[in-house]
Amino acid sequence: MQRILAQSGKEWKQFRRDPLSMWLAVLMPVVMVLLFGYTLSLDPDGLRLVIRDLDNSALSRRYVETYIGAADFQLIAWDSELAVEQALETGAAEMVLLIPPHFGRDLLAGRPAQAQALIDGADANTALILRQTASALNASFLARENPALAPPVRARIRYWYNPGLSDRRFFGTGALGMVLIFFPALLGAIAASREHELGTVIQAYASTLTPAEWVIGTALPYVAVGCVELVCGYLSGAVAFGYDLPPDPTAFLAASVGYIAIGVLFGMWVGHATRSQSISIQAVQLGVFLLSLLLSGFLAPLENIPKAIRWLSYFIPARYYVEVVRDALLRQGGWRTNGLDVVILLGLAMLGFWGVWSQVRRMRFPD
Amino acid sequence: MTRFLRRYWALTRKELHQLRRAPKLVFQLTIPPTLLLVMWGYALNPEVKNLRTAVMDADRTPASREILAMLTELEAFQVKANYLSTTDLEKAFEDRSIDVGILVPPGFARDLQAGRPAELQVIIDGVVANSAAVAGGYLLRAVADHNEKLLRRRLPVTLEAGLPRLGRSEIRAIAMFNPGMVFSWFYVTAIMGVVLFVDGSLVASAIAVREKEVGTIEQLLMSPAQSLEILLAKTTPVLSLLVLGLMVSTYTAHLVFGLPLRGSFGLYLLAGVVAGFAAMGLGILLATYSSNQQQAQLLTFFINPFVMLCSGAFARIENMPRIFQWASMIDPLRYLVEIIRGLTVKGADLELLWRPMGALTLLTIALYGLSVWRFRRQLN
Amino acid sequence: MTGVVIRARGLTKVYDRGTKQELCALDAVDFEIRKGEIFGLIGADGAGKSTCFKILAGVLEPTAGEVEVLFRSPRESRQRVGYVTQPFSLYEDLSVAENLRYAAGLREVDEEAFAERSRRYLEAFDMKAFTDRLAGRLSGGMKQKLALSCALIADPAVLLLDEPTTGVDPVSRRDFWDALGGLADRGMTIVVATPYLDEAERCTRIACMENGKILAQYPPAEFVSRMALTRLEIRTCDLQRAEEMLERHERDGILADVQRFGDRLDVLVSDPVADRDRILEALEAEELKPEVLRSGDPTLENAFVATLRSKRGPESHAHFPDRATAPAERCGELALGTKGLVKRFGSFTAVKGLDLEIRHGEIYGLLGANGAGKTTAIKMICGLVQPSSGEISLLGRTKGFRTAAVRSRIGYKSQKFTLYDDLTIGENLDFYAAMYDVPPKLCRARKDWALEVSGLRGEEGMLTGRLPDGWKQRVAFGAAVMHQPDIVFLDEPTSGVDALARRAMWRMINELADNGAAVLVVTHYLEEAEQCNRIGFMAAGDMVAEGSPSELEKHMPGVLLEVRAANVAASLGAFRQALGRDRVTQFGERLHVQAPDVGAGEREIQAIAEAQSLELRSIEPIPFSLEDVFLALIERRRAASDKAA
């Protein structure tokens, strides 16, 4: 026990001495949660609209007003000489609403009349939303002008757990999952590889410290740092996006500690294997950050990833953890809904411990 | 001048030799970007499939069955259960065993018959907001198509009733440049820019700080070479690899996702080179503030998410809060991605792209100049 | 005092067995170390010393052979072995106290013992004031003491010290060895590795290692006496010509060895009378006006060079391919001058008004402890750091040093290795040649020269990273002077290099100066300083003394007496008590005592010996070493500043 404490105390003091790591530990979760939450939002806002009304009748103006009145649009130009193609090419407009001549006359005559929405297709996400918005506005124009043509079936959609359908909340939780594995892994990797790089590992080898004591002693302070990050990330999410702890947070907490431990242990494993700080940092960036980002289902549904690589996602702890975080913070779920994920995470943590332990089992230099 | 060239060549050759001995670096600069590109192109597809869906038909009429059959035929909704009570449906939601619930309330057919709006109730788990929104969009579109069908069926009735005759307005949405609405083009172009920038800054900070770590920097600064020479020589080989990587990525994106290159290739190359300088300038600048590899990498890794996410490569800048919108103004990546999209998807030319091109060039000069200035001063 | 505590028989270690890089680091080594001995392992980088220590510490498994520490396997004895590694295994980002606590925690020292021992060692090593300072911000000497304290905190029976004095200044080194002597007297067994021969003299027994083998193991004095040679120190009016002439005699087998040291030549002869006369006659014939300063026993360095040479065969003597045409004309001209050079970092003044004058053809040694301001001074002169005030004139200019034209006339080799590990040796040389504007048609010849003098001919294609540090130093030196600079700055050019390679490098440096270059050597190794024509001592930013080595020795008051006693430990204690700590130093089985003059000193020593009934074997006057001078100067300065305060 004294030896574990000596090891932990040393690691903790070293961490505390490095102001860069200290700052990053606190800032990283806050920044990542906010940055991901705010910048990845697909909620369209201020869609740039250019209107070209070649008809200019009372009806066409009413049609156009339906669009201008919609909250998402921001009118850039109306009936100017602006070349339509050019407006879209330079990105000045995202949608051009083109009303053909005789639009009003055709409608009054009971004939169908077609307006065109030219949408910048380079951003297909926004294009999709624009297409839906355009057809919804068209329908509402029709319903208003001619109640007989109002849609017979109206679908009322309720979004549970997230009525405003804010994707900021959702990206923020994922970002928490990214930070809580990446940063602890980085710390673990640096701690382990630094010992090899500076040769200080010899102190531990030359003493009677056992491998298990070493692994636990080294990992402990970094898991604690991870827990502090969890609190920072959670608080910033709570303030910015209204995260809320579930009534029974034990499942969430157990999963978090397990998840952080996986990060630290994986980092230590990489650090011992590479023995070089810079290589292990790169390995962590690639192996932890990028893979988690891609294969955790945090940015887009995993279903769309080709089968050939999709199976990899079962080995990515972030896949389970992101589920747990979302469930706990956004749906107030607990053991009943995510027990299995928590158990898998704790299992992976044990596996990580075994991995590092078997690596340093001999406590001496390799031949 | 000849001396300058000779020294520059010696410096460049040194970097090339070092690069040759570090196949890992060459590999890192060319292969992962391409792989990433393909993976992200697939992975970042916002389409949804196979949502676990429960239906509850409280009306039990041909009309209700018709609309349910139409909706569950969609690829997005996969029926897992049929419930008879709303409590069962709600419980299934709470257990997370379903993602979507579609409920036809009693009197649906009656309302439809009577010409009153008939309501269809849908519950979607909104936590994964973007997927939920996409699913909601599919559903609304399907219902709109269904309405069309119903209206057409009903049209003769309406006419007999002698209601005012106003023609149907229609809107035809055309996705310019991308009529097939290929989602991957957006993300693939983003990744090409991001990889160039992130890789460039990471590698530049690593090679610049290495000289300091090993101690060769004093020797270099003592030699007749000027800082600009040293840095230009450091930049040249990596920059070539970065641009090569960009070309390989573009070609791969063309093969895999059909991404076109409609604009001028020369301009594309030029934009890549200018942005490469900016990225490496950023890396070198960060390296001058670090004393070892570890610090340089951490710093670069901390700065890069800002550069990446504020650039609007992944989501519209206008969707972000103001402060991020301002930050994006000095983000070189923003302009690079704008140019890449302009030249590939949109087929724009310099006349249309002079603004992002000019902004990118100015930022590059500022970043690279700052790094040259700092490089000389870092020993003090 | 006689029990064998460490025993190794046929100890062998092979790295990467069965691969292309197979390396035999230890080759069937035998030794036995008795309780209370200071056993020295002497050898160049890569001789196998560190491997040996790792095995004794139980952190590396030997490939073959038997090894026993404290009657058990090294691994089982870990708890009772203290180990100071090279580089020091200290956590630079932890404070002194935190490092000690960690070392104690790992070895389960209880709280009480920890408090008592840490207080004792911090006091003994003068570190009480620094307990909260980060280890990374300690000077080399302090780090060394901290590393030793960490190893001692668990009160070990065996102490393993792997090059504990590398990067440590002379004052700290002497303190350190005094402390070791005390520990050994109390019965601790000490195994120590060092590349420095003046330290080797302070061991009880030494083993000379090369290529994983122990070439010989004796007490230091026996090494010298076995050579049966006499050393002559000769001064002439033209050292260069005298050296060349005597080298010819050396090849003819008339004399055993000749080496240039600053302002004199050291010649080894087998017959002290006949050979001496023959040499003097030969020099007279060339009108070199020889003068014998001293004749006596060879030094341990002489003994080592002889041992190594007998194993390695003759060295190469390549000359610079295109010598300057009229070197003599330039010699004597001022190459570098500084006046009142000052550098302040915040409130700290690193250099306080430095005045320097270095002429073409001169080798100037700037000597001082860590933190004396040497490196800052050299960086200011090179233009890497902006001076706070003062004037510099470099190669006849007073400003514009940063221009390419000036810098291509400067050669610079910083303390760290300035080669790229991931380039081949040839590529490194090509690179520096082009950077310093060596004319392309001369490149090939100069490159060959650099390879030749580094002893690496034909190894052009080898990756530099695979060279041992000592060899890198030689290539780096060659690379730094390939463009035939007019002024050369060298920061500790020969650290980590063995005695033989050091000689080769000094031969090159001498040749540079003979060709008219001005050479400034910055160092804290007295072995390097000895080779300079003129030396300046710096302490705390000030120039304390300046002059040629012989002139400086005159700064020492009194004489030095070497005393051999039957019971060294008891004698040391008695002398120190009677004469004061500063005047007595232990060198293995011998004691050095400072005295005002020979007669008075002998009387004093005899009196003490009689009073304490100690048996003395001999008392002999010996010359002061440069180290003695250096320490005395520092001591005098400290006393003066204490008085002023």
Q: What is the mean pLDDT of residues C234-259?
A: 79
Distance (Å, whole) CA C501 – CA C364:
21
Residues A94 and A175 in one domain: no
**What's the rounded mean pLDDT across residues C355-363?**
89
Same domain, C161 and C272: no
| Residues of chain C positioned with their CB less than 8 A from the CB of B21 | 422-423, 463
pLDDT for residue B358:
95
Q: What confidence score (pLDDT) does residue B369 get? A: 93
Who contacts A40 (Cβ-Cβ below 8 Å, separation ≥6)? A167, A171, A299, B309, B314, B315
CB count within 10 Å of CB C309 equals: 16
Domain of B148, CATH number, reads: 3.40.1710.10
Same domain, yes or no: C340 and C422: yes
Q: Report the range of poorest mean pLDDT among B165-169, C379-383, C433-437, C626-630.
A: B165-169
- Is residue A28 included in any domain, yes or no? yes
For residues A291 and A343, membership in a common domain is answered with yes
Tens digits of residue pLDDT in A78-87: 876 667 778 8
Residue C114 has pLDDT above 80, yes or no: yes
Residue B169, strand partner residues: A113
Does A367 reside within a domain? no
Co-location of A52 and A105 in the same domain = yes
Q: Are the Cβ atoms of A199 and C89 closer than 8 angstroms?
A: yes
Q: Which of A117, A124, A161 sits opposite B186 (nearest CB)?
A: A124
**Residues 256..315 of B with a Cβ closer than 8 Å to A: which?**
292-295, 297-299, 301-302, 305-306, 309-310, 314-315
Question: What average pLDDT does this structure show over A187-205?
Answer: 87
Shared domain for A277 and A316, answered yes or no, is yes
What's the pLDDT band for A347 if we cut at 50, 70, 90?
very high
pLDDT band (50, 70, 90) for residue B156:
low
Q: Which residue has the higher pLDDT, C414 or C54?
A: C54
Nearest to A155 among B122, B129, B161 (CB): B122
Q: How confident is the model at residue C327 (pLDDT cuts 50, 70, 90)?
A: low
Model confidence over B288-324: pLDDT tens digits?
Answer: 988 777 788 888 888 888 898 889 888 888 888 888 8
> Quick one: C480 and C605 in the same domain?
no
Residue A15 shares a structural domain with residue A76:
no
What distance lies between CA B5 and its chain's CA centroid? Answer: 41
Tell me the mean pLDDT in the region A152-159: 82
A307 shares its domain with A268: yes
Residues 305-344 of B with CB under 8 A from A: 305-306, 309-310, 314-316, 318-321, 324, 338, 341-342
- CB–CB of C109/C156 below 8 Å? no
The rounded mean pLDDT for chain C is: 83
Domain annotation covers residue C315: no
- The answer to whether C143 faces chain A, any CB pair under 8 Å, is no
* pLDDT at residue C216, rounded to an integer: 82
Q: Which residues, including other chains, have CB under 8 Å from residue B110's CB and lie 6 or more apart?
A: none
Sort out which chain B residues have CB atoms less than 8 A from C413's CB and list them. Answer: 219
Query: Are C83 and A206 within 8 A, CB to CB?
Result: yes
pLDDT at B114 over 80: yes
Same domain? B203 vs B341: yes
User: Do residue C110 and residue C176 come from a single domain?
Assistant: yes
Do C425 and C405 lie in a common domain? yes
CA–CA dist B196, B202 (Å, integer):
10
Beta bridge partners of B176: A120
In a domain, A159, yes or no: no
Domain-embedded: residue C316: no
Record: contact B224-C405, CB cut-off 8 A: yes
Q: Using one digit for the tens of pLDDT, what is the confidence trace for C435-494?
A: 888 888 888 888 888 888 887 888 888 888 878 777 888 888 888 888 888 899 988 887
Token pair in block for residue A25: 């530990």
Half-sphere exposure of B159 (CA within 13 A, CB side): 8
Range of the domain at B211: 2-44+180-377
Total domain count, chain B: 2
- DSSP codes of every residue in C582-598: GGEEEETTEEEEEESSH
Question: Within this chain, do residues A189 and A321 fall inside the same structural domain, yes or no?
Answer: yes
Q: What is the reported pTM?
A: 0.82
- pLDDT tops 70 at residue C645: no
**Whether the predicted pLDDT of B157 surpasses 60:** no
* Contact predicate C424/C430, CB 8 Å: no
d(CA C170, CA B53): 82
Q: What is the DSSP letter of C463?
A: B
Q: Tokens 């139980």 identify what position?
A: C58
Range of the domain at C534: 327-543
Interface mutation target, options C422, C441, C482, C495, chain B, most CBs of B under 10 Å = C422
Using the 3D structure, point to which of A97, A116, A149 is the last residue of a domain: A149
Task: Examine residue B171 and state whether it is found in any structural domain, yes or no.
Answer: no
pLDDT band at C31 (very low <50, low <70, confident <90, very high): very high
The more confidently predicted of residues B139 and B44 is: B139
CA atoms of C424 and A87, how far apart (whole Å)? 57
Residue in chain C lying closest to B211 (CA): C420
Residue pLDDT, tens place only, C116-158: 999 988 888 878 888 888 888 887 778 888 999 999 998 899 9
Question: Is A172 inside a domain boundary?
Answer: yes
Question: Does C262 fall in a domain?
Answer: yes
Q: Is residue B192 part of a domain?
A: yes
Say yes or no: A143 contacts chain B, CB-CB below 8 A.
no
Do residues A31 and A74 share a domain? no
Q: Do residues A183 and A304 both lie within one domain?
A: yes
**Residue C263 within a domain:** yes
Rounded to 5°, the CA angle B86-B88-B94 comes to 105
Class of residue A275 by CB neighbours under 10 A (exposed 0-12, middle 13-18, buried 19+):
middle
pLDDT at B23 > cutoff 70: yes
Q: Work out how many domains chain A is built from and give that number.
A: 2
User: Among the three residues B126, B160, B194, which one is the final residue of a domain in this structure?
Assistant: B160
Does residue B200 share a domain with residue B143? no
Boundary residue ending a domain (C163, C192, C219): C219
Interface test with A, best of B65, B127, B199, B307 (most A CBs within 10 A): B127
Is C224 part of a structural domain of the chain? no
Q: What is the pLDDT of residues C63-91, one digit of tens each?
A: 999 999 998 988 888 888 999 987 788 88
Residue A1 Cα, gap to closest chain B Cα (Å): 31
Dmax (CA) of chain B: 97
Tens digits of per-residue pLDDT, A222-231?
999 999 999 9
Whether the per-residue pLDDT at B28 is higher than 90: the answer is no
Is residue B170 domain-resident? no
Compute the distance between CA of residue B108 and CA of residue B61 in angstroms, rounded to an integer: 8
Residue A35 shares a structural domain with residue A56: no
For residue C526, the tally of other CB atoms under 10 A from its CB is 22
Average pLDDT over residues C153-172: 84
Is residue B163 pLDDT above 60, yes or no? no
Inter-chain CB proximity B163 and A148 less than 8 Å: yes
Q: The CATH number of the domain where A67 resides is what?
A: 3.40.1710.10
Report which of residues A354 and C540 the model is more confident about.
Answer: A354
* Rounded-to-integer distance, Cα A235 and Cα A227, Å: 12
How many domains does chain C contain in total?
A: 4
Residues C272 and C202 in one domain: no
What is the average pLDDT across A136-157?
Answer: 81
Determine, yes or no, domain membership for A211: yes
Q: Range of A134's domain?
A: 47-149
Say if C611 is an interface residue toward chain A (CB within 8 Å).
Answer: no
Q: For B127, which of A47, A130, A331 is closest by C-beta distance? A: A331
The predicted pLDDT at position C452 comes to 84
Residue C636 placed within a domain: no
CATH number where C110 lies: 3.40.50.300
Q: Are B112 and B64 part of one and the same domain? A: yes
> What confidence score (pLDDT) does residue C325 get?
46
C401 and chain A in contact, CB less than 8 A = no
Q: Return the CATH number at C261.
A: 3.30.70
The answer to whether residues A33 and A52 belong to one domain is: no
- In this prediction, residue B1 carries a pLDDT of 64
| Surface of A (156-195) touching B: CB under 8 A | 156-163, 165-167, 169-170, 186, 190, 194
Considering chain A, what percentage of its residues have pLDDT values greater than 70? 99
pLDDT surpassing 80 at residue C527: no
Which residues pair with residue C546 across a beta bridge?
C536
B291 touches chain C (CB under 8 A): no
* Average pLDDT of the residues in C602-627: 84
Average pLDDT over residues A40-54: 83
pLDDT of residue C1: 42
pLDDT surpassing 60 at residue C287: yes
Nearest CA-CA distance, residue B226 and chain C, Å: 8
Percent of chain B with pLDDT over 70: 96
Beta bridge partners of A113: B169
Query: Are B340 and B195 in the same domain?
Result: yes
- For residue B330, the SS3 value is coil
Residues C401, C498 within the same domain: yes
Q: Measured between CB atoms, does A36 come within 8 Å of chain B?
A: yes
- B253 and B285 in a single domain? The answer is yes
A6/C230 Cα distance (integer angstroms)? 57
pLDDT tens digits along C474-483? 888 888 888 8
For residues B287 and B367, membership in a common domain is answered with yes
Burial C376-387 (b: 16+ CB within 10 A, else e): bbbbbbbbbbeb
Whether residue B228 is found in the same domain as residue B130: no
Instruction: Answer yes or no: is A366 within a domain.
Output: no
Q: Name the minimum distance, in Å, from the CA of A135 to any CA of chain B.
A: 6
Domain boundary among C157, C189, C219: C219
Size of interface A-B (CB pairs under 8 A): 334
Runs of H (alpha helix) within chain B: 2-20, 23-43, 62-72, 86-94, 108-113, 129-160, 183-214, 216-222, 227-257, 265-288, 293-310, 322-329, 332-341, 350-377
- Mean pLDDT of all residues in chain B? 85
One domain, residues A52 and A19: no
- Asked whether residue C552 is domain-assigned, the answer is no
Q: pLDDT digit string (tens) for B339-366?
A: 999 999 888 888 888 999 999 999 999 9
pLDDT at C328 over 70: no
